[in-house]
Chain A
């Protein structure tokens, strides 16, 4: 069963068509890799699916429902969480608070609960904090990190925190936009572990990545984009050896000689 389907999805910026007529299906529970050379429209695809950019035409179907024109926050609450290519944390919020932001919808309390500090609010606080701590543990952040500012963490941990914040939405689909970019070996290995771990919890993942080692290690299925169009799809080993893919990445052999 497909958790996400796009039908004829097109996004253009003025004269530039960043995504052109894309039909992409993502199987529930799978890890799908979205690869392609720079400027092929991978990040645009994530931005359109998560509602950051409105689609020019076409449809995004998530879990059987059309979500094409929904607000970003509604898409997030419906179960599509994402991380950003350049990490976007909240400048003045601590690690624990950052994760709690994404728990907002689960509080089930109103502004008056906050003003009157009702037992409902206190119960929600305790419940959500416990959940946030669980999520932080999954991505390798411990007690000593709870109260420091998110942005003061080392690079790899900042990535982890972003993933924890995304997981805090209890998503069924997680969009990861180049999570391994700029990571050292140790951070890279740990990221791989996190992704496997998330997958085991039944969360579907769409991974945009340039580090082929990571793609090879974690993905079940691969979609290759080039100039905003789908070039091919299939298992990673097939895509990797496809001459069209190699050409898209490296150019034609004749041209090089």
Chain B
């Protein structure tokens, strides 16, 4: 037990020290971006991994969140906190529309519907110029600030880590409860779940709502972190990247999103060998492909096993460790 505590302490210390040791502010910025993506991937783990409802359109919620928060703050003069809240609420509301097709469709057909949803939202963002400024994007989005200090990358890093900690706690409690059990029953056999008294419509709404809310929050973070958003950040390719992060980390593991997002973000950087820069993306994609093929459960279960080996097995419980 004592050894486990030491293990957690080491991990916590590494996280706290990260922005202090890495002096390059740009690297911390990239890390922040990956943590933002981790929030979305966590939502996808809940929706796809636990509830079995595929989504290839999450860039849409990311975009809705980013635009909602920045436009309510810039045009309506909302305080940023309220902008965040508006972003989350609007995404949850939109998820209701997207989850209606899931009542009848699943698997391949549902994924097509979510792709279409992503495209529709993207087209709206590009063409509703009076509101979104079209392809040019929105400039001058104010950064978060506390007691008059504007947040820099290090502040954002700590804020994101705490946020992710809270969200992890949230989905862990849910998935380990009778609600998570209903999610998994629905995922494994929808008909048998319904004949066991599970209202699958409700749980589909809930799963879509949770992950859309997560993506909306991530979008708001992104807008205020970067200060500039344009439709380019919310294309279909981003949606697939989010799913890729969840799968790389472990689609059915609570830590899947948190592990997958930084790996998918930083892996390409490791392959920038001098003289071979043209191929770094190809190399990174190849490695991710290999991970998915040979470790279909993702990296998180592997890391958990490694952690347990070094710092001792926990006697009870299952699923993820903490941050």
Is B truly associated with A?
yes
* Interface residue ranges, A against B (CB under 8 Å): 50, 52, 71-73, 76-77, 81-82, 84, 88-93, 97-98, 100-105, 107, 109, 111, 114-117, 121, 124-125, 128, 165-166, 168-169
Contact A111 B206 (CB under 8 A): yes
Interface residues on B, range: 20 to 34
Contact B179 A52 (CB under 8 A): no
B108 within 8 A of A: no
Contact A50 B195 (CB under 8 A): yes
Instruction: Give the residue name and chain of the A residue nearest to B252 (CB).
Output: A92
Q: Which of B173, B178, B179 is the most central at the interface, judged by chain A CB atoms within 10 Å of its CB?
A: B178
In the complex with contacts A114-B173, A115-B174, A89-B192 CB distance below 8 A: yes
In the complex with contacts A93-B185, A100-B181, A111-B206, A76-B194 CB distance below 8 A: yes
Contact B184 A90 (CB under 8 A): yes
Measured CB to CB, the closest approach of chain B to A16, in angstroms, equals: 21
Contact B182 A101 (CB under 8 A): yes
Q: A97 to B184: give the CA distance in the assembly, Å.
A: 10
Residues of A within 8 A of B197 (CB): 73, 76-77, 102, 104-105, 169
Partner of B170, one of A82, A88, A91, A115: A115
Partner of A93, one of B173, B174, B179, B181: B181
B315 within 8 A of A: no
Contact B189 A104 (CB under 8 A): no
Partner of A107, one of B178, B188, B193: B178
Contact A84 B188 (CB under 8 A): no
Instruction: Give the residue name and chain of the B residue nearest to A99 (CB).
Output: B196
Contact B198 A90 (CB under 8 A): no
In the complex with contacts A111-B206, A114-B173, A73-B194 CB distance below 8 A: yes
Q: A114 to B174: give the CA distance in the assembly, Å.
A: 6
Contact A104 B182 (CB under 8 A): yes
Q: A102 to B199: give the CA distance in the assembly, Å.
A: 11
Instruction: Give the residue name and chain of the B residue nearest to A150 (CB).
Output: B188
In the complex with contacts A93-B188, A111-B174, A101-B181 CB distance below 8 A: yes
Partner of A121, one of B177, B181, B252: B177
Measured CB to CB, the closest approach of chain B to A107, in angstroms, equals: 5
Measured CB to CB, the closest approach of chain B to A98, in angstroms, equals: 8
Contact B196 A102 (CB under 8 A): yes
Measured CB to CB, the closest approach of chain A to B43, in angstroms, equals: 15
Contact B195 A82 (CB under 8 A): yes
Contact A97 B181 (CB under 8 A): yes
B14 within 8 A of A: no
In the complex with contacts A92-B184, A100-B181, A168-B196 CB distance below 8 A: yes
Q: A73 to B193: give the CA distance in the assembly, Å.
A: 8
Residues of B within 8 A of A165 (CB): 196
Residues of A within 8 A of B179 (CB): 111, 114
Contact B174 A73 (CB under 8 A): no
Q: A229 to B277: give the CA distance in the assembly, Å.
A: 74
Q: What are 30 residue pairs bridging A and B, where the CB atoms are less than 8 Å apart in the complex?
A: A72-B195, A73-B195, A73-B197, A73-B199, A73-B200, A76-B195, A82-B195, A88-B189, A88-B191, A89-B188, A89-B189, A89-B192, A90-B188, A90-B192, A91-B189, A92-B187, A92-B188, A92-B252, A93-B181, A97-B181, A100-B181, A101-B182, A101-B193, A101-B196, A101-B198, A104-B198, A114-B173, A116-B173, A166-B196, A168-B196
Which chain B residues in 185-237 approach chain A with CB under 8 Å? Answer: 185, 187-189, 191-200, 206
Q: A76 to B178: give the CA distance in the assembly, Å.
A: 18
Contact B184 A104 (CB under 8 A): no
Measured CB to CB, the closest approach of chain B to A69, in angstroms, equals: 15
Instruction: Give the residue name and chain of the A residue nearest to B180 (CB).
Output: A114
Chain A to chain B: the 5 pairs with minimum beta-carbon distance, closest first: A114-B177, A90-B188, A102-B196, A72-B194, A76-B197
Q: Which of B173, B193, B196, B206 is the most central at the interface, judged by chain A CB atoms within 10 Å of its CB?
A: B196
Contact string, B136-152, partner A, CB cutoff 8 A, digits 1/0? 00000000000000000
Residues of B within 8 A of A169 (CB): 196-197
Contact B173 A117 (CB under 8 A): yes
Q: A117 to B189: give the CA distance in the assembly, Å.
A: 27
Residues of A within 8 A of B192 (CB): 84, 88-90
Measured CB to CB, the closest approach of chain B to A127, in angstroms, equals: 12
In the complex with contacts A93-B181, A101-B196, A165-B196, A52-B191 CB distance below 8 A: yes
Q: A73 to B182: give the CA distance in the assembly, Å.
A: 12
Partner of A104, one of B170, B174, B181: B181
Instruction: Give the residue name and chain of the A residue nearest to B176 (CB).
Output: A114
Measured CB to CB, the closest approach of chain B to A24, in angstroms, equals: 20
